[in-house]
Each structure stands twice: as C-alpha cells, then as structure tokens.
Amino acid sequence: MPARRIIPCLDVKDGRVVKGVQFRDHRDAGDIVEQANRYRDEGADELVFYDIGASAEGRSIDLGWVREIARIIDIPFAVAGGLRTRDQAAACLDAGADKISLNSPALERPQLIDELARDFGSQCVVLGVDSFAVQGDYFVKQYTGDPDRTLDAGRRTLDWVREACDRGAGEVVVNCMRRDGVRGGYDLAHTQAVVTAVDVPVIASGGAGIPEHFRDAFLDVGVSGALAATVFHDRIIAIPELKEFLTACGIETRR
C-alpha cells in the first residue's frame, strides 16, 4: 500500500475555520489562510475544506478562498460544499483545488458522480459520507452542516458507498458522526465495513484523540488516510511527532 496520509480537516463557515462536536456547537478555530499555511509547514499530506453551510443553504463555495489557498500551499487539497453541477466543480478545479468532495449534492442527484468522473477523472472525485450507526447498521445523513436542517438520507451507508464507487467515485471519506469531536477513537468497525465494501481508498474520519487511534485505523482497518480536526486545530497532536510515532509502529508515512 502507498504511504498513509495524514489529512487535517478544515470546516469553513463565513470564511473562517470552525469546529464542532458531533456536527453541532461550532466554535471559531482560526483564519482559513493562516491554518492552511500552518498545516503546510507542519507536514500535512493533504487538506480538506468543507464549506459546512453551503449545501443546506442552497449555494456553492466561495471561489475567492479556494484561489487564495491554491496560491499559498503546494500540497493537494479537496473542497466540498454545495457543488451541484459540473460547471461549479470545474470552477473549483480551475481555481486550484485538486479534488472535489461530494456529499449532499450527490445524494440529491447521484448522476453528478458519473458526470464528474467522466469529465475530470475518478481521482478528482471524493465521496464524503456522514454516517450514523444504529443498532449494528449504518445510515447516511444529509445537510449535516446545519443541525436544524439535517435529514436522514434514506440510504444505508454500505449500499450508498457501493453505488457511488460504481458511478466513479475514486475515494471515500467515512465521517462517523457519533465519534466526531469526542476524541475517543475512530469507529473501527464502522470504517472496516466500508473498506470491505469498496475497492477504492478509504479515509477514516471522526474521533481521533491520541496517536494510537491513527495507528489502529491504519494497522487494524487498512485505511489509506486518517482525517482529523480537533487534535490538530488545538495542537493536542503535532503532525511531525505523529508521523514519527507511526513510523516507529512500522507504518509508512510521507516525510
């Protein structure tokens, strides 16, 4: 397997980075450009920017900050938020994003995945899944950027990720909602079910609190990357030290 990736996640609201717990009660976590610079310098492998209000509010991403991020960093980054058309996705890629991450817009119109994979390649198309465990099964939530508008998408997670990958998604980010922001560890069983269901790289998301949580996701589940926010934003875990720890555990990381 290629070197495992460490991916800070930056939720964006009104041009600022924010962080919540279980997708609620967001607090300010800094300036978007300053945070991108910081993570570039600390050795992040990729960044993901989620405009958390865009889908629920019926708008798309502000291309201004996408261009600014592309100007200052030299690592890959993905953007997500209200991208409902091929032209909106193309504008983000033209502004400098390397990947487009789809969540609620793909649930609204799954054919969007086919269109973007056809025109830009599967490597550019990431499926973000906000997934909720209920009595041993997993279900998809929609419009999770706004707690007042969050809906059940009416889909089982495993059915949805299989369909999306068949349509051309080249990567899946599994956001385990019960674990988000609580720092108790990734939901390994939940993530493993997705890894087993698809044949594209899977990124674990939701729950990282200590370096051992990253180790377990890589060794026990076999994810391609691990995404986290709180532990990086609050400087609980430093990326260089995390990579040293993982290397000592026999896990190859990008140096």
Q: Which burial class, exposed, middle or buried, applies to 163 when counting CB atoms under 10 A from its CB (0-12, 13-18, 19+)?
A: middle
pLDDT at 19: 56
Name which of 8-22, 58-72, 102-116, 159-173 the model is least confident about.
Answer: 8-22
**Nearest partner of 182 among 15, 6, 20, 3, judged by Cα:** 20
Rounded to whole angstroms, what are the CA distances from 208 to 35, 187, 198, 236? 19, 9, 23, 10
Mean pLDDT computed over 93-98: 97
Predicted confidence (pLDDT) per residue in 181-192, tens digit: 678 899 999 999
Q: For residue 54, is pLDDT > 80?
A: no
pLDDT at 25: 46
Residues 6+ apart with CB under 8 A from 128: 50, 80, 101, 102, 103, 173, 175
12 forms beta bridges with 17, 51
Name which of 43-52, 173-182, 198-207 the model is least confident about.
Answer: 173-182
Q: For residue 221, is pLDDT > 80?
A: yes
**Spatial separation of the C-alpha atoms in residues 53 and 24, rounded to whole Å:** 12
The mean predicted confidence, pLDDT, of the chain is: 90
Mean pLDDT computed over 154-180: 94
Q: For residue 179, is pLDDT > 80?
A: no
The pLDDT-based confidence of 28 (bands split at 50, 70, 90) is low
Q: Is 130 a catalytic site residue?
A: yes
- HSE-up of residue 170 (Cα within 13 Å, Cβ side): 14
Task: Select which of 11, 51, 180, 216 is catalytic.
Answer: 11
Instruction: Match 């993982």 to its residue by tokens.
Output: 246
Q: For residue 6, is pLDDT > 90?
A: yes
Q: For residue 29, is pLDDT > 60?
A: no
* Top-confidence range, 36-40, 69-73, 104-108, 169-173: 169-173
Q: For residue 126, is pLDDT > 60?
A: yes
DSSP state of 1: -
Q: Is 220 a catalytic site residue?
A: no
Name which of 5-9, 28-32, 128-132, 239-243 the model is least confident about.
Answer: 28-32
* Top-confidence range, 54-63, 136-145, 196-205: 196-205
**pTM, full prediction:** 0.90
What does the CA dihedral 96, 101, 103, 107 come to, rounded to 10 degrees?
90
Task: Select which of 51, 130, 187, 216 is catalytic.
Answer: 130
